[in-house]
Each structure stands twice: as C-alpha cells, then as structure tokens.
Structure 1
Amino acid sequence: MPRRVTIYDVASEAGVSISTVSLALNTPARVSEGTRRRVLQAADSLGYTPKSEAVAKARKGFGRIGVLAPYTSYPSVARRLSGVLRAVGDRPLEVVVFDHASAATSPSPLLDSLPLTGRLDGLIVMSLPLEESTARRLAGLGLPSVLVDVSRAGFDSVHADDAEGGRIMAEHLLERGYRSFGFLGEAQESDAYVSPGQRRLSGFRAALGEAGHRLPAENVHFTGHALDQAADAAQRLLSGPRRPAALFAGDDTLAAGALRAAQALGLDVPGELAVAGFDDSELAQAMGLTTVRQPLEESGHAATELLLQRMGGEPAAVREVKLRLELVRRGST
C-alpha cells in the first residue's frame, strides 16, 4: 500500500515550513502569491489530500463534484446550481459549492487557491472565466472540468450567445418604436476578460447601429451588482439632459434598480421610459419586467451531464452546448 502524502511532504517539496503550507491552503490571503502558487504546485504534483477531506470522502464512499460560482450574489447562478443538484439526483455523488463573491472582481482567484488534487473528482465553474494560469493548472491536473456561462478553448462548456441576447432586446425596443437608448451594466474591476454583460452590451449597440441609432457613451453606465447601487446609477443616467426613452439593463437585478429609479423620478413606465432586463428571474416575473429568458436550470443540468460523461472517460473531443434565448414581453416596455 503506497504511503499517504502528508503536509510534511508538501512543505519539503515547496521549500517552506509546515505552517506556511497550512496558511496557503486555508487562509491564502496571508501568504504571498508566489508562495501560494509554489505550495499548490507541490500539493498538486504529490497528490496531497488534506486529512479531513480524505477521511470524509472515504467515510461517505461518494465521488465529489465541486461547483465554483458567485451563487450568493446572482439569482441566475443559484438557479443554475439547482439544475446541477437535479441532474445529480440520487447518484453517489457529493456536490461541494465554493462561493466566489462576485464575477466582476477578478477572473478566479478562489480557484487558483484551492488544493484540488484528491479533493474533487470533477469541477463545474459557473460565470467565472479562467485566467491562463488557472486553465493550465486544471489541464495539468487532468481534472474533468466544465464551464458554464463562459467558454474557453480546451474545455467543455455550456453557454448562451449573450451578444445575440443584446440584439434580441434591441430589435424588440426598435419594434416598439423607441428611438433613444441607454444601458446599465455591472462594473468590472478586471479587463482581463469579456463578461456576459459586456457581450450583451456589444450586441445591443451593434443592432442599434445597424438600424441607424447611436448608443451615446453618456447613456452607458456601470454599477455594483446590488439593487440600491443600480438604482443610484440609473437615477444619475435618467437625470441627464439626454434621458433615453428605453433602458436595457445587463440583468434583471440591475433592471429592478432602474425601475426603482424611474419611480423616484416620477417617470411613467413604459409611457415615459421603457425598462428591460436579462435572465427572466423571479424578480422580473414579479415586477412585470420585459427580459431575455435563458434556460438557467437547464444549463446546470447540461453541465453536470457533460461532466459525468467526462468523468467516465469519454468522449475525447471538447464539447460546446449553446442554449437558446427567448424574448419575454411584459408591461415594462
């Protein structure tokens, strides 16, 4: 029987103390990035499994799937997670959720800090694009992985065409007779990737331009992903000298903030201002919000099926599942 790799082995391989290994694995913010990466590389190469994880896994007799997602910040991601759980069903699999606070802060620092070897049999990454170093790490480990809401060469993925979603909304608003437009999106702290919201804006702007209409820079505002922040940003946008007649928000939470701002300004919706969102969340349904529906639960379900097939050793080719988007017309436009 092979000897179990210990924390002492990892420390020796990485050339650091045992306490530094513990910090790097449990509280990575307390060590430098270089030290953290050296410890993780050592843990990955040796196949180190923290003892508590190994014991728990052995006791349960389950396989383990990790889901990394900003699920506490985005209702859409929580619905995707429910699709994962439904797909797992009564299979002997444990689903472990790692929460990343926001998709806007940086690509995936949490994933870079996770000691993956031995802890997980498969990984689903939702709404968080991979940095090059993270992609190389996953590929080097051979850990079956599926991306949801984003795509990257070499990885199975499940996603919608966000730019097409923006086009769908532009065409709807033009059809309704609106001729001046605004966009409210989530602010990003990193420009290392193109977010779904940015792709929605791109498609929205392109479709308007093809129809002969501009989306002025002063009518494009970005904000934090919270109802109050969205309302404040929307109020500033709508208080300008060139107030748009129609406002498209990057998702339903931001659109709900815009509705709150319209109410505070005494604007009739949709008489004086049309408001539209994206996702078709329960919030959109409750507020009568026009939106673009994407099959959220289905995306989690499809990603899990892809992952289980990959964990089973087949197929070899990288697969991409594109989800269909649908306009949902309600009273806000």
Structure 2
Amino acid sequence: MTSPPTIYDVAGRAGVSISTVSRALNSPGRVSEQTRRKVLAAVDALGFTPKPDAVAKARRGVGRIGVIAPHTSYPSVARRLNGILSAIGPRPLEVVLFDQESAAESASPLLASLPVTGRLDGLIVVSLPLDESVADRLTGLGLPTVLLDVRHPGFDAVHTDDTAGGRLAAGHLLERGHRRFGFLGEAQISDRYVSPSQRRLEGYRVALADAGHPLRDEDVRLVRHRAREALSAAHELLSRPEHPTAVFAADDTLAAGVLRAARDVGLTVPRDVAVVGFDDGELAEVIDLTTIRQPLEESGRAAAERLIQQLDHRTTARDLALELELIVRGTT
C-alpha cells in the first residue's frame, strides 16, 4: 500500500524547501506568484492534502493581517484603520479586525489567543499595551507584529509622544494667561502599563508645575471613556466657585463633554473657561475645538507599510516617532 504524499514530497517535486512550501500554503503573500504556482502544481500532481483553508488561501494568493484595537470606543482608531487600509491597497492581503473595548485595560487574553485562533501572517496592535507574557509569546511564534500608538522593546512601533502633547496643551493655556487649570482623562484600569491619558496628564502636570502653577488633585477627573461620564465629571469640575478657567481633556470626545458642561452651568467658552482636546478628528473641527493633532491616517499607513516590509523580509525592529501639532480654534 502506497503511503500518502508528504510535505517533503511536495518540496522535492516543486524544487523548493519545506519552509517555502509551508509559506506558500499558509502565508501565500510571503512568496512570489511563480513559487506559489509551482507548489500548487506539485500539490495537485501528488494529491497532497493540506488543510483546506490553506489551499484556498494559496490559490487566491492571499495573506492575512490582523488588526487588534479598541475599534468601537475611539473615533481616532477608525482614522488609523483608514491609513492601514490605504497602505495595503490592492496587495493580496486580507485584513481581519479584532475589537478590544478600551485602551485603558490589558488586552492580554485576546492578544494571547490571536495567533492561534486567527491564523494570521502578521499583526498590528493599535493603542493596546503588550503584557510581557503576550510579548514573549508573539516573539516565540515569530509572528511579524507592529505596534501603533504603543511601544514595547523588541517590536516595531509607530507612535507619538503623549507626554509632549500634554506639555503643548499646558504651554498654550499658560500663554493665554490662565492660572487655574483642570484635567479630564480616562481612568487607568490596569497598573501594568501607563495609558496615553496618563502620559498626557503627566506632561500637562509637569509643565504647569514648572511654570509655578501646580495642578491640584481636586482639579483632575478620571472617568471611563463614556460621554455621559465625561459630562458628569466636567459638571463637578466647573460647578465650584473657584472652578478651573482652563481644562485639558485627554481626547476630543471628553473635551466635548467639558463644552456641554460649561454651557449647562452658564459658563462662556472661552471667556469663562478655555478647553483643549486631543486627536483633531472631525468632531474637533465641527465644534471649533482647540486640540492637539495626531497624524492618525499617516500613523496607520506607516504601521501597515512597516508590517508589509516585515512580511517580505524580517529585519531588526524599528521605532518611528511622528510629530504632534497644536491646532488653535475658538475654544481657547
């Protein structure tokens, strides 16, 4: 009785290595079209039976990239995703989205399972920190991974300096003559890392202290990333007799809550209270919000382009820092 053909037989008939056969079947975007056709011809001639989904991917010449992010919670993520998709363009790559609700908590369980359950060729992690155990697993699996809006040693990263953004906001408000300050940010859920909101608060706090106007604990409000909770916290900040005359919010959604609260308690913006946000999405433009602009689409494109480079040829991890910009509008 003849033994069924093996991957070794396919490699011999196609004149390629075993690892090339594996890539052609499981990560077809990582081999040339000519090589993929040779492998598929050998598979068909020998009657080799790999996993059906691997054959289907190989015949389409399609690889698969995972993007894990808090897609449903932050408008900025959608713009980063647009940048990722524009960079991929007509390339033979599928994009699979995985949603993690908040950037303020650990994404370890979902991240830890993705390489197995997602059958991925590459991964982009957006605004979610890596725990050491997950970082070790991704490294051990050899899964090309690019971090976007976060950093971790040994991984490609595209990011901005949140601390510098906080300093930008503080400097602008100080230049406007303000001396009583507030901050509205997202609550830190996990103590395993420092969130973007916390880094923005840190830069803001240090810059104010250096100017002789330390930010008091009672002028800081940290909430879940929910418009209703932001509104309630902003009401608390602005309802006091000695309320802040300037508030920096960790993103534009939270800043919108401050603007609504100011209106509710009878304060005029920017005469009675100035407001600065962070991101500069469509919301900021519509409500005439002064904000710190992140290059969101550009960062998504840069992350995808770097991942494509890593899929083609693995190299040493690189760190790319993009610049922030203060956009002055009517709220200051």
Fold-level similarity (TM above 0.5): yes
Counterpart in the other structure of 1:66: 66
For residues 50-199 of structure 1, the aligned pairs below 5 Å read 54=54, 57-58=57-58, 60-116=60-116, 119-199=119-199
Counterpart in the other structure of 1:249: 249
Counterpart in the other structure of 2:229: 229
Q: Whole-Å Cα distance in 2 between the matches of residues 287 and 57 of structure 1?
A: 46
Counterpart in the other structure of 2:23: none
Moved more, 128-137 or 104-113: 104-113
Q: CA deviation at 1:318?
A: 1.5
Alignment root-mean-square deviation, CA = 1.8
Query: Counterpart of 1:114 in 2: which secondary structure?
Result: helix
Q: Whole-Å Cα distance in 2 between the matches of residues 142 and 52 of structure 1?
A: 23
Q: Whole-Å Cα distance in 2 between the matches of residues 126 and 291 of structure 1?
A: 21
1:61-93 CA-partner distances (Å, limit 9, x unpaired): 301111000011101011000000000000111
Q: Whole-Å Cα distance in 1 between the matches of residues 153 and 275 of structure 2?
A: 35
CA contact (8 A) 1:245 1:274 kept: yes
Q: Whole-Å Cα distance in 2 between the matches of residues 72 and 148 of structure 1?
A: 17
For residues 18-37 of structure 1, the aligned pairs below 5 Å read none
Identity %, equivalent residues: 64
Counterpart in the other structure of 1:216: 216
Q: CA deviation at 1:286?
A: 0.4
CA contact (8 A) 2:188 2:198 kept: no
Q: Whole-Å Cα distance in 2 between the matches of residues 155 and 85 of structure 1?
A: 21
Q: CA deviation at 1:143?
A: 0.4
Unaligned 5+ segments in structure 1 are 4-49
CA contact (8 A) 1:252 1:279 kept: yes
Q: CA deviation at 1:291?
A: 0.2
Instruction: Tell me the amino acid that sits aligned with residue 318 of structure 2.
Output: R
For residues 278-317 of structure 1, the aligned pairs below 5 Å read 278-314=278-314, 316-317=315-316
Q: Runs (4+) of structure 1 moved beyond 2 Å?
A: 50-61, 105-109, 113-118
Query: Counterpart of 1:66 in 2: which secondary structure?
Result: strand
Q: CA deviation at 1:228?
A: 1.5
Q: CA deviation at 1:246?
A: 0.2
Q: Whole-Å Cα distance in 2 between the matches of residues 2 and 195 of structure 1?
A: 49
CA contact (8 A) 1:70 1:99 kept: yes
Q: CA deviation at 1:116?
A: 3.1
Aligned pair in 2 of structure 1 residues 2, 195: CA closer, same or farther (>3 Å)? farther
Q: Whole-Å Cα distance in 2 between the matches of residues 176 and 56 of structure 1?
A: 61
Q: Whole-Å Cα distance in 2 between the matches of residues 52 and 250 of structure 1?
A: 47
Q: Whole-Å Cα distance in 2 between the matches of residues 152 and 204 of structure 1?
A: 23
Q: Whole-Å Cα distance in 1 between the matches of residues 52 and 245 of structure 2?
A: 58
Aligned pair in 2 of structure 1 residues 244, 53: CA closer, same or farther (>3 Å)? farther
Q: Whole-Å Cα distance in 1 between the matches of residues 52 and 222 of structure 2?
A: 43
Larger radius of gyration: 2
Q: Whole-Å Cα distance in 1 between the matches of residues 51 and 134 of structure 2?
A: 24
Q: Whole-Å Cα distance in 1 between the matches of residues 112 and 233 of structure 2?
A: 33
Moved more, 184-193 or 157-166: 184-193
CA contact (8 A) 2:115 2:143 kept: no
TM-score under structure 1 length normalisation: 0.82
Aligned pair in 2 of structure 1 residues 57, 272: CA closer, same or farther (>3 Å)? same
Aligned pair in 2 of structure 1 residues 119, 207: CA closer, same or farther (>3 Å)? same
TM-score under structure 2 length normalisation: 0.83
Q: Whole-Å Cα distance in 1 between the matches of residues 327 and 279 of structure 2?
A: 10
State the number of aligned residues: 286
Instruction: Tell me the amino acid that sits aligned with residue 155 of structure 2.
Output: F
Q: CA deviation at 1:166?
A: 0.5
1:160-205 CA-partner distances (Å, limit 9, x unpaired): 0110011011000000111110000011221110011111110011
Unaligned 5+ segments in structure 2 are 8-49
CA contact (8 A) 2:159 2:299 kept: yes
Q: CA deviation at 1:107?
A: 3.7
Q: CA deviation at 1:101?
A: 1.2
Query: Counterpart of 1:321 in 2: which secondary structure?
Result: strand
CA contact (8 A) 1:107 1:190 kept: no
Counterpart in the other structure of 1:27: none
CA contact (8 A) 1:117 1:141 kept: no
CA contact (8 A) 1:290 1:328 kept: yes
Q: CA deviation at 1:325?
A: 0.4
